[in-house]
Amino acid sequence: MNAPSTPPTDTSDSVALRRPRLALVTGMSGAGRSTASHVLEDEGWFVVDNLPPQMLGPLADLALRDSAALPRLAAVVDVRGRSFFVALTDALTDVRSKGLDLVVMFLEADDATLVRRFESVRRPHPLQPPGTVLQAIQQERELLHGLRNAADILIDSSEMNVHQLSAKVRAALGGDESDNDLHLTVVSFGFKHGIPLDAENVADVRFLPNPHWIPHLRGKNGLDAEVADYVFAASGATQFVDAYTEYLKVVTRGYRADGKRFAVAAVGCTGGKHRSVAMAQELARRLTGDGVRALAAHRDLGKE
């Protein structure tokens, strides 16, 4: 018998690899949307700035009609759209119904950082008149609360300079559109500097002995083998990393099944220099594989 002339049915995975990508870049004014859009342009994305949400549907239709010429589109949507912004939820639902690979990136920063940035450039916040810049920021944060919670990628730029933010955006969206792995960032931090706002999961390793109180280890950090050996020799350290690894494996399997491709897990100690750094390194090593690309990042390393 001759082989059928029609091609075999594509699997869902192979179809997903060929779907054009649409990235929605949004978030707080002053948090780095312009930087993100410039990075995406440099990475070969076609970027549309200040797009009214009602135009997301036509943009998605364009991507579907000519996916070869426009495989990656990015739209910057923010409160400059004013009344248009309330239509964003319906617009996102409509775009997802068209079958595009949609990613929502939300950029944020804490109030003090945003106030400082607006004061440094001497430009008003889009929602500022007639109130203060802080009142405008708080109003915007309330307006965007639901969208923040629904974002696929959440980036807190409070502690970042423009180069660090660019690297973060590039790591999140600058890769090959056929990449369906979950990109997991394991962030070490110090509780005295605050919990990372973009972390979905947070663990506390302050129960372990602090190398800071060991004179010959104080000036080193968790990247040094001597410090890591001390951390993992402590009672409970091995049990913790075993248990937290298994927990995160369950979580990441769920993320992948749900189509989530970017996640942040954080592990903290007092200053973010010794215990959390060693633990983040080990967790990233253990979690890499089975569709997960794990990378350790150390937010507070080098701070006093």
pLDDT string in tens for the chain (304-residue length): 333 333 333 333 333 334 568 899 999 999 999 999 998 988 888 899 888 878 888 888 888 887 777 778 899 988 765 555 667 777 888 888 887 788 899 999 999 999 999 888 777 888 877 778 899 999 889 888 888 888 888 999 998 888 788 888 888 886 554 456 888 999 999 999 999 888 999 999 999 999 999 999 999 999 999 999 999 999 999 999 999 999 999 999 998 887 777 889 999 999 999 999 999 999 999 999 888 989 999 999 878 7
Prediction pTM value: 0.61
d(CA 282, CA 6) in angstroms, rounded, equals 49
Helix axis angle, 133-143 to 111-121, nearest 10°: 130
Cross-strand bridge partners of residue 103: 23
Residue recorded with tokens 């009602």: 54
95 SS3 class: helix
Q: Tokens at residue 209, please?
A: 């002995």
C-alpha of 265 from chain center: 11
Amino acid at 174: G
Calculate ∠ Cα 84-36-191, nearest 5°. 105
Cα 206 to Cα 197, 211, 273, 304, distances in angstroms: 19, 11, 12, 17
d(CA 40, CA 34) in angstroms, rounded, equals 10
